[in-house]
Chains A and B, each alone.
Chain A
Amino acid sequence: MSALAALIRRDIRIALRVGGGALIGVLFFLTVVVLMPFAVGPDLALLTRLGPAVLWLGALLASLLTLDRLFMADHEDGSLDLIVMGRTPLELACAAKALAHWLAAGVPLIIATPVLGLLLNLDATSTSAVALTLMAGTPALTFTGMIGAALAVTLHRGGLLLAVLVLPLSIPVLIFGVAASQAAISGLSFGAPFSILCALSLFSLVVGPFAAAASLRHGLD
């Protein structure tokens, strides 16, 4: 257990220090959401209606932005070799890395959501609905994205490949995330889409580490 804790601590430290990925994701999220009112125009009703979708889209792209470095950085300096040689199962090490990434890059997005909600004319209920669905849904984005990040290491092709591989997998998360937010806002049944969103997260929590570890093992050279 201490090995996994050490790995999580290290990755969070790197992400939070200068040049780390945590801040970049939030800044990107901010940029996307801030630009939206300028593109759509000053129609407050329209902004309110689009708000949850814009926030979800921004969060999805922001979490993808930093995800391609998840294994690449460790691969480039040889750390990945040693992680494979560690006494911790590679699946658990992958899960620990994804968890660290979510804590450092995913949680700041959720924290930033209430502030950005103001820009999109969302009221308190809508904002908290979006924040709640992001909290339930972003782990799914990270853990499925991890599979793409592991494949990108194997195939020696970086970010673009990740986007192509991971975006289709994240479409269900996006659909049910936005659906749950909209349901909460309009007073429809919130339970069904939110349950499916949680199920997607739990599913990727289980499948992601195994797929990523298999890909890394297969691709070592």
Chain B
Amino acid sequence: MRLSGRGVRCVRGGREIFAGLDFAAASGEALAVTGANGSGKTSLLRMIAGLLAVTGGSITLEGSETELTLAEQAHYLGHRDPLKPALSVMENLAFWRDFLGGEPFDANESLAAVGLDHASRLPAAYLSAGQRRRLSVARLLAVRRPVWLLDEPTSALDAAAQSLFTALMADHLARGGLIIAATHMPLGVAARELRIGGAT
């Protein structure tokens, strides 16, 4: 499986953010998207996820075994944690596992993998920012999807959780997954760098 973009152009609010961006990542590879604030890292990830119209160029996924679109095979871990405060930790996770579609995995084990199994019955309203993030990460494990689009994945995570997340990413890559992450910090796994906004 190979994800590639050719001449990708991004326009937001009438202003060109970046243009002529080429990138490619194959199975088992990670791509670290770097650049200053406002250089379009999040916009690029949202374009790949199909949440933002591609204003120029093309983004394609080749060698996929199924007929699913790129968005349907991708996990998007954005800035916000899509959790409902009124539901328990387990209910939140189980909903996304059932709704998203993909190869399902045991929700309890996913929670244990991010160290939240002790809190599975707690309403999500009581979670700290780091714990909310962990729960979002558990979503990536509860349903297997080959492409991970991560936007500042380690923000709000403590050192232990960061190393845990690094191990999860390495595991995902070893299974033939593909990671594109917007980040300011080193990812912790071997990754090629894609720098947006060459001005710096």
With the chains together, A77 CA to B84 CA distance in Å? 8
> Interface readout for B10-29 with A: 1 if CB under 8 Å, 0 if not?
00100000000000000000
Contact A3–B87 (Cβ < 8 Å): no
With the chains together, A18 CA to B83 CA distance in Å? 16
> Interface readout for A1-28 with B: 1 if CB under 8 Å, 0 if not?
0110111011001100111100000000
Contact B52–A81 (Cβ < 8 Å): no
Residues of B within 8 A of A17 (CB): 86-87
Q: Which residue, of B71, B83, B99, has the highest number of chain A Cβ atoms within 10 A?
A: B99
| Number of A residues, CB within 8 Å of B | 28
Q: Which residue, of B46, B87, B100, has the highest number of chain A Cβ atoms within 10 A?
A: B100
Contact B91–A79 (Cβ < 8 Å): no
Known interface pairs A6-B95, A10-B91, A13-B87; A85-B82 also in contact (CB < 8 Å): no
Contact B91–A78 (Cβ < 8 Å): no
Contact A86–B101 (Cβ < 8 Å): yes
B35 close to chain A: CB less than 8 A: no
B80 close to chain A: CB less than 8 A: yes
Contact A81–B76 (Cβ < 8 Å): yes
> Interface readout for A71-108 with B: 1 if CB under 8 Å, 0 if not?
00010111101111111100000000000000000000
Binding site for A on B (CB under 8 A): 12, 46, 49-52, 68, 71-72, 74, 76, 78-87, 91, 94-96, 98-102
- Sample of 6 A–B contacts (CB below 8 Å): A3-B100, A6-B98, A77-B83, A81-B82, A85-B74, A86-B101
